[in-house]
Amino acid sequence: MAKVKKAFFCRNCGYESAKWVGKCPSCGEWNTFVEETVQKEPAQPSFTPAGERNRPQPVREIQRQEYTRTDLGNGEMNRVLGGGLVQGSMILLGGEPGIGKSTLSLQLALKAGGIKTLYVSGEESPHQIKMRAERIGIGNDECYIYSETNLENILRQVTDYKPDLVIIDSIQTIHSDSIDSSPGSVSQIRECAALLMKYAKQTNTSVIIIGHITKDGIIAGPKILEHIVDVVLQFEGDNNNIYRILRSIKNRFGATFEIGVFEMRGEGLIEVTNPSEILLSHYDEPLSGIAVGAAVDGARAYLIETQALVSTAAYGTPQRSATGFDSRRLNMLLAVLEKRVGLKMYTKDVFLNFAGGFKISDTGLDMSVVAAILSSYFDRPLNNTTCFAGEIGLSGEIRPAPRSEQRISEAARLGFGRIIVSGYLRKSLPKPPKGIEIVYINKIEELARTLFGSGE
C-alpha cells in the first residue's frame, strides 16, 4: 500500500513546503501554513473534440480573434465587464457575507434572456433558491438549478446540459474526489478552479464562481485563485445601507476603472444609473456643514454630499471621526487648516460623513471636505448651487483633481451654477459647459475668502 504523503501549504499564496515554517518564503505572511494530504492526481479530463491538437504558431500567423460579448440584461454588470460577458471567460465574484453575491448571481441567471444557465449551489437547497427566485422574478425559462458540491458530478452535468453560463456558489464548498482534503482547503480550491477554467476555455462556456472573503477583506483561498481567473469582481457595501458597489479589480477583456452601483431592495438588486441623484439631499432651508463634491470613481463621475460637524471639545483631547473617509487624511487636512488658515482646530471635535454610506478614496474631494468643515466651523451655510473639486497639499496649495473635465460636466448636467477648482487648470481646461461658472483658486486661504469673504 502506497505511503500517504503530506505537505504544508500557505493559505495566502498556495506555496508548498515539506515542513511547517512560520513565515511564508513566497508572500512573507506569518502563520499561514496548514498541513494537507497530497496524493497523485488522475489525468484531468479533456473537453476538446478528439483529433484536435494544440501546436506552436508564429505570432504573425495567429488569427486575431474578436471576443463575442453576451448581454446579461443588467446594464451595471455589463458596464463593469467592459460591455458584456465574454464567452469562455471565468469570473470570480467576492464580497462580505450577506452583501448580495448570491442574489446578484441568481438575478443574472434569471434575467439573461436567451442564455442557457446552470446555477450550481453548494450552500442552499433548490427550495431555498426557488424562494429567492420568486422574490426576484423568474424571467429565464432556461435557468437550471443544481445543488451539488462534488466537482466530478458537476462536470458530468454541465457536459450533458451544455449551458452557455455556469454559476458556482461557492468555490469554497466544492471538492474533488481526487484531492484528499476538506472543501475550502488550499488544494481543493486551487485544483477545482483550475479544472473549471480548463472546461471554460475548451468548451467556450462562461463560468462565474463566487468566493468568500476573510476577516481582512481579501478573497479566501490561495492568491493563485485570482491569477487563474480572467476577471475578479469585488462587491462592496455596508449591510446597514442599501447601496452596493461592484468594482472590477482584474479584467483581461476590458478596463478595471469601471464601477457598477446597485440598490438592495426586497425584489433584488436594482441598477442605479445616476448615482448623483441618490447621493444629493434636498433641504427646505440652508444648513451649515454641508458641501457638495464632484467625485470620480473609475470612469464614472458623480456628485456626493459631504457632511461635517465641528464643535468645541468638551474634554482635553479633541475627537476625530470620519465615516467613509480616511481618518489620517482628515487629520492632515485639519493640520493644514490650522497652519495655513489659522483656525484653532486643536480645540475642536470634528466629525465627517458622506451621504449614502459610501467609502471615498478620491483625493479630489479634499476641497469639499475642507469647505464643509469651514461651513460648520463658522456656522454659515454654503451656496447650494456651488460644488468643489480639488486636492489639497501640505503647503496649502490646491492641486488639480484627476478627470476635472468630467467632474465639471457632471456638475453642469445636474444644474450647479458654480464649481471651484484648482487654478492650475486655468490654461488646460477647454471651454466650460454652458450654465456653469468655473472659479479658480491656488491656495486654501483663497477658499475661505471665496466662501465667506474672510478667512477669519
Distance CA 311, CA 318 (A): 9
Q: Measuring CA to CA, how many Å separate 298 from each of 9, 301, 306?
A: 36, 8, 20
What pLDDT sits at residue 390? 95
For the residues 355-374, what does the mean pLDDT come to?
A: 90
Domains 68-273 and 278-452 belong to one CATH topology: no
What pLDDT sits at residue 149? 94
H-helix or E-strand spanning residue 31: none
Binding residues for ATP: 95-102
* Between residues 238 and 39, the one the model is more confident about: 238
Domain residue ranges in the chain: 1-39, 68-273, 278-452
Task: Output the DSSP codes for 192-255.
Answer: HHHHHHHHHHHHT-EEEEEE-B-TTSSBSS-THHHHHSSEEEEEEE-TTSSEEEEEEEEETTS-
DSSP state of 424: G
* pLDDT, mean over the chain: 87
Question: Which residue, among 365, 361, 388, 369, has the nearest Cα to 298 in the 3D structure?
Answer: 361
Distance CA 45, CA 198 (A): 9
What pLDDT sits at residue 138? 80
Least confident range from 1-15, 136-150, 327-341: namely 1-15
Per-residue pLDDT reduced to its tens digit, 2-15: 556 788 888 777 78
pLDDT at 441 over 90: yes
Radius of gyration of the chain, Cα coordinates, nearest whole angstrom = 26
Count the helix, strand and coil residues of the chain and give each as a percent rounded to the nearest 5.
30, 30, 45
pTM above 0.85, yes or no: no
Q: Which residues of 272-309 are buried (b: 16+ CB within 10 A; e: fewer)?
A: beebbebbbeeeeeeebbbbbbbbbbbebbbbbbbbbb
**Residue whose cell numbers read 441618490:** 278
pLDDT at 455 over 70: no
What pLDDT sits at residue 46? 62
**Residue whose cell numbers read 478573497:** 219
**What whole-number percentage of the chain has pLDDT above 70?**
94
Distance CA 211, CA 129 (A): 18
Burial class (CB in 10 A: 0-12, 13-18, 19+), 435: exposed
Which class is domain 68-273? alpha beta
Per-residue pLDDT reduced to its tens digit, 93-107: 998 888 899 999 999
Domain covering 278-452: architecture: 2-Layer Sandwich (3.30)
Q: Measuring CA to CA, how many Å separate 448 from each of 157, 180, 254, 331, 456?
A: 67, 67, 42, 18, 8
Per-residue pLDDT reduced to its tens digit, 370-382: 999 999 999 999 9
Q: Does residue 209 come out as left (phi exceeding 0), alpha (psi in the -120 to 50 range) or beta?
A: beta
Binding residues: 95-102
H-helix or E-strand spanning residue 340: none
pLDDT at 259 over 70: yes
